[in-house]
Amino acid sequence: MRTVPIRPTLKIFPSDWQNGVIMKSIPKFLLLAAILSSLTILPEKESSAKDTFLPEFTSFETASADNFTLRKKSSFNEKASLAKYEKNILQEDTCTLKVLNFDEDCDISFKSSDTDVLTVKQLSENSCSYTGVGYGTAKIKVKLTKTTFLIFKEQKTLTAKVKVTPRAVSVVFRQNSREIEAGTKMSLSYTIRPSISEEVPVFESQNPKIASISKNGKVNAKKTGKTFITAMISNGQKAKCKIIVVEAAEEE
């Protein structure tokens, strides 16, 4: 009976690149295929005759071709996302944008799509500040990059859309005086100039025990009496509205 010799499987380790084992043992077309598919060579580790696979890589898919074993690359920054950020800001306002759940050993860069509207400054590995300098809409492009095998790169891009509006120059209440029943609520209407500004005034009640007001301009009448509600914008201009709280009408 003729005995056919069995050629043992050869694993590729980093040290093999230096002693020329790879070039002698692997056909050139297979080596080229490995490079083009950006597969990663398994790290060197001693193995016994009973253990032909490395334990720490059992959770990964492996691909075998003749006399070498290679690991397929995993998904890149699959869970990376942007933290909650301010989508509407005023000129000269500065806010922060942060990347969450990103892979280790990757580079993160931030870039504004329109520096006449929005400028960006990187603060740390995974965060940046952005400032409104004009008005309009701009996008912050967040690029995550990692060099894998030789010159091959993996990339993922996240986008943050930001609207910038000018600061208000004036504010007026549409009515100078309002009457409201105790125990009820009412929203005060006001006008901002310029109309494209999305600035929200800061509201304040002269006597919160009679009527208080929320940050969105809703009056809460508590007891009978009179008070004034003030709305102030960032340039210091103010508007006033007189609030008269009357007794609630009796139900018939």
Interior/surface letters 88-117, b for 16+ CB within 10 angstroms, e for the rest: ebbbebeeebebeebbeebebebebeeeeb
Whether 2 is in a domain gets the answer no
**63-108, pLDDT tens digit by residue?**
444 444 444 445 778 899 999 999 999 999 999 999 999 988 889 9
User: Among residues 111, 26, 106, 98, which one has the least CA distance to residue 69?
Assistant: 26
- H-helix or E-strand spanning residue 131: strand 127-132
- Kindly state whether residues 85 and 64 are assigned to the same domain: no
The percent of residues above 70 in pLDDT, for the chain, comes to 68
The percent of residues above 90 in pLDDT, for the chain, comes to 61
Whether 11 is in a domain gets the answer no
Whether 191 is in a domain gets the answer yes
- Kindly state whether residues 187 and 224 are assigned to the same domain: yes
CATH number of the domain at 158, please.
2.60.40.1080
- Kindly state whether residues 133 and 209 are assigned to the same domain: no
Place of tokens 């990376």: 80
Domain boundary among 49, 71, 93: 71
- Kindly state whether residues 161 and 178 are assigned to the same domain: no
- Work out whether strand 88-90 and strand 153-165 pair parallel, antiparallel, or are unpaired: parallel
End-to-end Cα separation, the chain, in angstroms: 114
With bands split at pLDDT 50, 70 and 90, how would you rate the model's confidence at 54? very low
Collapsing DSSP states into helix, strand and coil, what is residue 246? strand
CB 107 within 8 A of CB 122: no
Cα–Cα distance measured from residue 84 to residue 81, given in angstroms and rounded to the nearest whole number: 10
**170-227, pLDDT tens digit by residue?**
999 999 999 999 999 999 999 999 999 999 999 999 999 999 999 999 999 999 999 9
CB count within 10 Å of CB 31 equals 15
Given this model, what pLDDT does residue 31 score?
54
- Kindly state whether residues 53 and 123 are assigned to the same domain: no
Domain of residue 25: give its range: 16-71
DSSP string, 138-163: EEEEEEEEEE-STT-EEEEEEEEEEE
Whether 76 is in a domain gets the answer no
- The structural domain count of the chain equals 3
| Higher pLDDT among residues 237 and 146, named by residue | 237
Domain boundary among 147, 165, 183: 165
- Kindly state whether residues 177 and 224 are assigned to the same domain: yes
